[in-house]
């Protein structure tokens, strides 16, 4: 299947409750993300992390650009490719493999890793290798400096600013130095100080945060 090369690729299935999803990546770490805000103010846009980037260090950087070992922070229900009717809301492997359009497939390789799922941390789990079928241009990007997200359907995509990072048009127009200073200050106040002062304030999610 061919995909558009100039827009964020979104997908959904009977497992996503009518919500469209997207994929994002930073270096070796993959995420399922929300391609738009769905009417919420400053929502979290990362749905779940899909793999352990440290465990992925055994793979080449090139291979990791379209493959990952599925070890999600959200557990999966057992997957049966012959079952075309059951709904498994929130199950990571079902969201990926039953997606429309088809955005991923299993390579057939398996290995054991320490589970990252909230119900099984510390236990060993079998991880399946997933190949991502959509082009890199179809991933949802986040601005490295101000943490703004691309939005499904927007005409102007974020541009690469090096090292697998992207920046929005506003930060690009200010330049790297000014954007770094303002971005660092905003991350300190908005994501560290404000959540300490107001318990109803959450730190913004970030593709660039250390796992």
Is 8 a residue whose pLDDT tops 80?
Answer: yes
Residue 41: per-residue pLDDT = 62
Last residue of a domain, one of 100, 117, 138: 138
Residue 8 domain flag = no
Label residue 1 by pLDDT band (50, 70, 90). low
pTM score, whole prediction: 0.92
Q: 146 and 60 share a domain? A: no
pLDDT (tens digit per residue) in 28-76: 999 999 998 887 766 789 999 999 988 878 888 899 999 999 999 888 8
Domain boundaries, position 155: 141-211
Label residue 118 by pLDDT band (50, 70, 90). confident
Integer Cα distance of 121 and 75 in angstroms: 10
Residue 122: per-residue pLDDT = 75
Tokens describing residue 164: 């697998």
Residue 63 domain flag = yes
Last residue of a domain, one of 122, 138, 154: 138
Q: 127 and 161 share a domain? A: no
pLDDT (tens digit per residue) in 156-201: 899 999 999 999 999 999 999 999 999 999 999 989 998 899 888 8
Residue 211: per-residue pLDDT = 67
Residue 107 domain flag = yes
- Three-state SS for 170? helix
Residue 201: per-residue pLDDT = 85
Last residue of a domain, one of 138, 161, 182: 138
Residue 44: per-residue pLDDT = 86
Q: SS in 3 state form for 21-73?
A: EEEEEECCEEEEECCCCCCCCCCCCEEEECCCCCHHHHCCHHHHCCEEECCCC
Q: 89 and 162 share a domain? A: no
DSSP state of 112: E
Label residue 119 by pLDDT band (50, 70, 90). confident
Label residue 121 by pLDDT band (50, 70, 90). low
Residue 12: per-residue pLDDT = 95
Q: 106 and 157 share a domain? A: no
Residue 57 domain flag = yes
What is the maximum alpha-carbon separation in the chain? 54
Q: 79 and 37 share a domain? A: yes
Is 22 a residue whose pLDDT tops 80?
Answer: yes
Q: Which of these ranges, 5-14, 40-49, 122-131, has the smallest mean pLDDT?
A: 40-49
Q: State the average pLDDT over residues 108-123.
A: 86
Say which residue, 131 or 154, is predicted with more confidence.
131
Integer Cα distance of 59 and 78 in angstroms: 26
Residue 161: per-residue pLDDT = 95
The whole-chain average pLDDT of the chain stands at 91
Tally of domains in the chain: 2
Integer Cα distance of 20 and 95 in angstroms: 10
Percentages helix, strand, coil for the chain, rounded to the nearest 5?
A: 20, 25, 55
């Amino acid at each position: 299947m061919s995909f558009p090369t100039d827009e964020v690729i979104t997908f959904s299935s009977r497992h996503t409750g009518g919500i469209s999803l997207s994929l994002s990546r930073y270096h070796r770490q993959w995420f399922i993300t929300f391609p738009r805000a769905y009417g919420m103010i400053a929502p979290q846009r990362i749905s779940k992390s899909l793999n352990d980037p440290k465990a992925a260090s055994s793979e080449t950087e090139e291979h990791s650009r379209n493959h990952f070992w599925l070890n999600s922070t959200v557990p999966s229900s057992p997957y049966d490719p012959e079952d075309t009717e059951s709904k498994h809301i929130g199950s990571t492997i079902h969201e990926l493999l039953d997606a429309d359009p088809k955005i991923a497939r299993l390579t057939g390789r398996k290995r054991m890793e320490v589970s990252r799922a909230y119900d099984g941390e510390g236990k060993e789990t079998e991880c399946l290798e997933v190949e991502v079928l959509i082009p890199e241009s179809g991933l949802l990007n986040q601005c490295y400096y101000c943490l703004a997200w691309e939005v499904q359907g927007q005409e102007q995509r974020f541009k690469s600013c090096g090292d697998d990072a992207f920046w929005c048009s506003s930060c690009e127009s200010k330049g790297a130095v000014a954007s770094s200073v303002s971005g660092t200050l905003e991350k300190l106040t908005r994501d560290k100080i404000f959540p300490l002062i107001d318990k109803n304030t959450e730190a913004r999610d970030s593709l660039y945060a250390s796992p």
